[in-house]
Amino acid sequence: MTAEKILYATDFSPASDSALGFASSLASDSGAVLHIVHVGVSHADAFATTAPYGYAISEEVELRERRERQQKLNSLQPTVAGVTCEHHDLEGNPAEEVLRFAEEEGVDMIVVGSHGRTGLSRMLMGSVAEEIVRRADCPVLVVKHAASLTE
């Protein structure tokens, strides 16, 4: 596989952590830039769908959380030495934003972790990985979290 840009999407969960090694190895093998992407959900968006009467979250709280998220994102580094990476902290619907970023940047492959949920929990929680697989214009590698392999 020849790739110039690989997108690794993370939600900071153990499931997405499992995928970082694969993304790093693929980027190393192909000489690609690894785009490490996290999509946060703003309080305004979250409350718009869950709180019909609205809640006020201070701008200070939003800024603090965004800074913490950015620090956590920047601490993620490729697991293989010599891989060039760029960090991107996006906001919105996770699947939508990953797909938008991939298209705008001309990404050659997306690597994402999967929680491995099935049945009712998957229906209730939705599946970002599944939506990305269904809608992406490029290959997608879904890495199942090691702990879910034994469950």
pLDDT tens-digit readout, 37-60: 999 986 555 554 555 554 556 788
How confident is the model at residue 44, as a pLDDT? Answer: 57
- Percent of the chain scoring above 70 in pLDDT: 77
Q: pLDDT tens for residues 57-90?
A: 678 888 899 999 999 999 999 999 999 999 999 9
Give the span between the Cα atoms of 73 and 58, in whole angstroms: 23
The sheet with strand 5-10 has its strands ordered as 85-91, 33-40, 5-10, 109-114, 140-144
C-alpha 79 chain-centroid distance: 16
What's domain 5-149's superfamily in CATH? HUPs (3.40.50.620)
Q: State the burial class of residue 62 (Cβ atoms within 10 Å of its Cβ: 0-12, 13-18, 19+).
A: middle
pLDDT band at 123 (very low <50, low <70, confident <90, very high): very low
Is the pLDDT reported for residue 94 higher than 60? yes
Give the span between the Cα atoms of 111 and 136, in whole angstroms: 11
Hey, where are the domains in the chain? 5-149
